[in-house]
């Protein structure tokens, strides 16, 4: 059993979705939890007693100061889960919108890098410092109409690999998770929106996703959360610079 008792974890985008599932799993293993998320997310997804919630826009001009203040208030950090991110609308290359491009890069890449940069000195002072960055299967494969998202997730893997070499000199491990399709509320919403626009019926679309995997089901939020907890723990003490797929066996 994984034991994270006495360890301080910070999870960005941890108020709901995958981030919340990861925070729940870390807490169940004994970690103290600090969640950084938008004020609107924290307002609509109350945190359990004992958790610390910090309202912060990680794409804003004050993100670095906010992260540094949060970390100083915590006083220590053993685990960083840089999960905050966004899935932009699907577009063909000719239809890319570069205002959208910059905004998604600001969250999916720059905010991950800034979170890791601010956390690095604290992780280095821990005797078990570990960072888990949220990538995607789109970090090592591509899909049509997902150029922007795919490019950001390739960038996250580059960041993880370079940071693992850099921070490894301080005893800090840096890894990434690569979830496949996960039936979060956000994914179900996108499937339903495509159905409303004349696409496949939602239940048929979900059944098709299930059928693509070796396990006959797509991975769940809990699957991803358990993988994050493993990478953050001493069970993975010899693992760094690695991207761990969590996709129920996609071909």
Q: Which two tokens stand for residue 26?
A: 């870390």
Tell me what pLDDT residue 6 has: 97
Q: Which domains does the chain have, with CATH numbers?
A: 8-181+220-246 (3.40.50.720), 183-218 (no CATH)
Tell me what pLDDT residue 103 has: 98
Tell me what pLDDT residue 41 has: 97
Q: In which residue are the tokens 């098709």 written? A: 208
Over the stretch 123-138, which tens digit does the pLDDT of each residue have? 999 999 999 999 999 9
R_g of the chain computed on alpha carbons = 18
Instruction: Tell me the torsion sign for CA atoms 30, 118, 59, 113.
Output: negative
- Residue 143: pLDDT band with limits 50, 70, 90: confident
Gap between the terminal Cα atoms of the chain: 30
Tell me what pLDDT residue 158 has: 98
Q: Beta 243-246 vs 52-55: how paired, if at all? A: unpaired
173 by Cβ neighbours in 10 Å (0-12 / 13-18 / 19+) ranks as buried
> What are the catalytic residues?
149
45: which residues sit within 8 A by CB, 6+ positions away?
A: 15, 16, 20
Over the stretch 14-66, which tens digit does the pLDDT of each residue have? 999 999 999 999 999 999 999 999 999 999 999 999 999 999 999 999 999 99
3-state secondary structure the chain: CCCCCCCEEEEECCCCHHHHHHHHHHHHCCCEEEEEECHHHHHHCCCCCCCEEEECCCCCCCHHHHHHHHHHHHCCCCEEEECCCCCCCCECHHHCCHHHHHHHHHHHHHHHHHHHHHHHHHHHHCCCCEEEEECCHHHCCCCCCEHHHHHHHHHHHHHHHHHHHHHHCCCCEEEEEEECCCCCHHHHHHHHHHHHCCCCCHHHHHHHHHHCCCCCCCCCHHHHHHHHHHHHCHHHCCCCCCEEEECCCCC
pTM given for the model: 0.94
């Amino acid at each position: 059993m994984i034991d994270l008792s006495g360890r301080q974890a910070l999870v960005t985008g941890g108020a709901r979705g995958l981030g919340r599932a990861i925070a729940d799993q870390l807490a169940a293993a004994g970690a103290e939890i600090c969640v950084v998320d938008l004020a609107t997310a924290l307002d609509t997804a109350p945190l359990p007693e004992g958790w610390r919630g910090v309202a912060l826009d990680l794409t804003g001009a004050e993100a670095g100061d906010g992260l540094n203040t949060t970390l100083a208030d915590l006083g220590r950090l053993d685990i960083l889960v840089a999960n905050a991110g966004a899935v932009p609308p699907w577009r063909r290359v000719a239809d890319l919108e570069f205002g959208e491009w910059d905004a998604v890069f600001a969250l999916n890449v720059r905010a991950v890098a800034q979170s890791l940069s601010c956390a690095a000195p604290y992780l280095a002072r821990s005797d078990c410092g570990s960072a888990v960055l949220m990538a995607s299967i789109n970090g090592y494969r591509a899909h049509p109409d997902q150029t922007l998202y795919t490019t950001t997730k390739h960038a996250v893997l580059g960041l993880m690999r370079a940071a693992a070499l850099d921070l490894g000199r301080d005893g800090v491990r840096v890894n990434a998770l690569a979830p496949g399709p996960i039936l979060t509320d956000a994914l179900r919403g996108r499937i339903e929106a495509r159905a409303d626009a004349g696409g496949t019926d939602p239940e048929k679309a979900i059944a098709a996703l299930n059928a693509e995997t070796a396990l006959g089901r797509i991975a769940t939020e809990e699957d991803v959360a358990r993988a994050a907890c493993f990478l953050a723990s001493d069970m993975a003490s010899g693992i760094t610079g690695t991207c761990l797929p969590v996709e129920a066996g996609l071909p």
